[in-house]
């Protein structure tokens, strides 16, 4: 997140999309902590050693994507904690997504999950994903609203 040669140069981003929003949250917490002086900036040598240690962990874990999820969570959790934050570990959702994808590449996008926060099960679209040949956001959002309205009526 900090450039070792100039730690006032900060980069907020992520290596891939396992933890997209969580990564931005963790990096922003860390960067804010640096700007506000709550996070002590380590020496260039310490930064490079820390980077090398994380890289070694990744290099030695093989091709297990589930292990990669946990490594990314640990890395972002460390950044968040240094800045005074915390990340919820949602690795089980990524594990299920991978398992669903390996089970059937044509139907894994049609699967649902239950939110750890609200306890509400996600919606599935009105037709299988593989048959969706449009990216019409308006139609999809209208369908989502109709589904939500139907579920609200059923609760009454």
Instruction: Output the pLDDT for position 18.
Output: 65
Instruction: Output the pLDDT for position 17.
Output: 63
- Degrees (nearest 5) of the Cα angle 8, 6, 50? 100
Secondary-structure percent of the chain, ordered helix, strand, coil, rounded to 5: 55, 5, 35
Mean per-residue pLDDT, 44-61: 94
Mean per-residue pLDDT, 37-58: 94
| Per-residue tokens: 143 | 């369908």
pTM attached to this predicted model: 0.71
Rounded-to-integer distance, Cα 122 and Cα 112, Å: 5
Give the tens place of pLDDT for each residue, 102-148.
Answer: 999 999 889 999 999 999 898 877 778 887 777 778 877 888 888 88
Contact between 26 and 77 (Cβ < 8 Å): yes
E-strand ranges in 11-69 read none
Q: What is the DSSP string of 65-110?
A: HHHHHHHHHHHHHHHHHHTT------HHHHHHHHHHHHH-TTTGGG
């Amino acid at each position: 997140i900090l450039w070792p040669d100039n730690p006032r140069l900060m980069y907020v981003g992520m290596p891939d999309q396992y933890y997209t929003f969580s990564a931005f949250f963790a990096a922003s917490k860390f960067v804010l902590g640096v700007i506000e002086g709550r996070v002590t900036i380590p020496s260039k040598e310490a930064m490079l050693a820390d980077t090398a240690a994380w890289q070694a962990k990744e290099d030695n874990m093989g091709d297990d994507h589930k292990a990669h999820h946990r490594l990314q969570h640990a890395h972002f959790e460390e950044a968040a904690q240094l800045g005074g934050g915390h990340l919820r570990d949602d690795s089980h959702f990524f594990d299920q997504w991978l398992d669903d994808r390996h089970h059937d590449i044509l139907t894994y996008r049609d699967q649902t999950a239950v939110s750890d926060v609200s306890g509400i099960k996600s919606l599935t679209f009105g037709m299988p994903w593989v048959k969706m040949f449009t990216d019409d956001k308006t139609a999809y959002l209208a369908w989502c609203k109709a589904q939500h309205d139907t579920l609200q009526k059923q609760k009454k």
